[in-house]
């Protein structure tokens, strides 16, 4: 005696069987299960080294009366020091504009910071 099922019952059986098959966890080899606690992507020192260090430049310009020392980080001036070669004249620094601030909020931009050597 052959058992005949309606087509809807066959579709239902097929759908539940495939759902159960996908819901089961796949078999994991013993070597892979031991490293399951370790991260899948390992950071190497080479990957961290790919971020370039900022370029720092020390520029010196001088003539017979003054020596100007400028420090730039990533091409942006961060420190300017003017040293006089004339006796009795002090040195002073100039505060360059901070590129991270709006010009109207950067009150110290362009102002000298005096250093009297005390």
Question: Tens of pLDDT along 26-78?
Answer: 555 555 555 555 556 566 666 566 778 889 999 999 999 999 999 999 988 99
pLDDT tier, 100 (very low <50, low <70, confident <90, very high otherwise): confident
pLDDT tens digit sequence for 77-97: 999 999 999 998 888 998 888
Domain locations in the chain?
56-115
CA–CA distances in Å: residue 38 to residues 11, 34, 42, 43, 47? 42, 8, 9, 12, 18
User: Which pLDDT score is estimated for 21?
Assistant: 58
pTM score over 0.85: no
């Amino acid at each position: 005696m052959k058992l005949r099922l309606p087509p809807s019952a066959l579709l239902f059986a097929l759908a539940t069987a495939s759902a159960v098959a996908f819901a089961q966890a796949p078999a994991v080899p013993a070597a892979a299960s031991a490293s399951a606690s370790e991260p899948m992507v390992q950071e190497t020192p080479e990957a961290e080294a790919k971020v370039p260090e900022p370029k720092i430049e020390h520029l010196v310009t001088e003539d017979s009366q003054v020596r100007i020392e400028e420090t730039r980080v990533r091409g942006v001036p961060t420190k300017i020091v003017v040293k006089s070669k004339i006796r009795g004249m002090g040195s002073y620094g100039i505060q360059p504009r901070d590129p991270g601030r709006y010009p109207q909020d950067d009150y110290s931009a362009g102002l000298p910071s005096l250093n009297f050597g005390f």
